Structure 1
């Protein structure tokens, strides 16, 4: 099972790298056509924005860990392990409920956006914003999995600090 998750993680990382690389190529092409050729392509700017939207939601859904998000943790850090567990359960449950409640509306909104398209490349907005549906589903799944782990016998491992010190925090001699 760990090998499957590792392969899936590698696949999602590859998609993120390909999206970022494509955006970078479009950006360089836009600079070249604008400043070297003097005739910019309109579609490259639009492509950069589309790739950016996909990068943000794809990486947030599948690659960025919860500990990497900006969070206000003053109460959480000062709580006992049992208090941390309660706070983590409340947070995960709130995310699960909020995003699950928003899922039908998200589907409807994305489906409705098929009536609009980008001005230059004529790509339908439902295709562009379909990644947002994946993001919402991933948040629901992650919150559900967090609740499952917090309800299990190894919940202490979930609330203990698991982060490794980075280079700036390394002890000096």
Structure 2
């Protein structure tokens, strides 16, 4: 299982790097056209915006770990390990439940957006914003996996792994 996770993470990093490279290339074309040719083009601006949205949600879904988030956890850290475990289970459960409740409405709205297209590139909005539904599913899966690990025999490792700095 670890090798699958490592390979998937590497795949997600490659996709994120490709998205960023495409965004940077479009930005360079935009700067060149605007300031060198004195002829701004609008498709680059829209493409940069679309790619930025995809990068943010792609990385948040597959690359950003919990310990990478900025947290205010002094109260959590002050608790004994058993209480931290229970609180982590409850909070992960709340996150999973909230995202599961929001998932059908989100998917419905994203699918509804197929009637709209981006102004310049004419890409359907359901395709543009489908990454948000992917993000929601990834957060749900991560929360469920965390609860499973916290309920297992090596729950203390799960709590400490979330705090370790690379």
TM norm structure 1:
0.92
State the alpha-carbon separation in 2 of the partners of residues 137 and 164 from structure 1: 26
Question: Shift of the alpha carbon at 1:3?
Answer: 2.0
The Cα offsets for residues 107-131 of structure 1, whole Å up to 9 and x where unpaired, read as: 1010011011111110011000000
1:99 is aligned to 2:99:
yes
After superposition, give the CA deviation of every residue in 1:115-148 in whole Å (9 maximum; x if it has no partner). 1111111001100000001000000000000000
**Cα distance between partner residues in 2 of 1:140 and 1:164:** 24
Q: Deviations over 1:47-98 (max 9, x none)?
A: 0000000000000000000110111212111110011101111110010000
Structural RMSD (CA): 1.1
After superposition, residues 153-164 of structure 1 pair within 5 angstroms as: 153-160=153-160, 162-164=163-165
For structure 1, the 5+ residue unaligned runs are: 166-173
8 Å contact kept, 1:81–1:160:
no
The answer for the alignment partner of 1:171 in structure 2 is none
Matches for 1:116-155 after TM superposition, within 5 Å: 116-155=116-155
Equivalent residue number for residue 58 of structure 2: 58
The answer to whether structure 1 residue 78 and structure 2 residue 73 are counterparts is: no
CA distance in 2 between counterparts of 1:86 and 1:6 reads 28
C-alpha distance in structure 1 between counterparts of 2:56 and 2:4, whole Å: 24
Paired residues in the alignment total 165
d(CA) in 1 for partners of 2:130, 2:152: 34
Q: Distance in 1 between matches of 2:160 and 2:64?
A: 19
The answer on 1:88 being equivalent to 2:95 is no
Taking the TM superposition and a 5 Å limit, the aligned residue runs for 1:162-173 are: 162-164=163-165
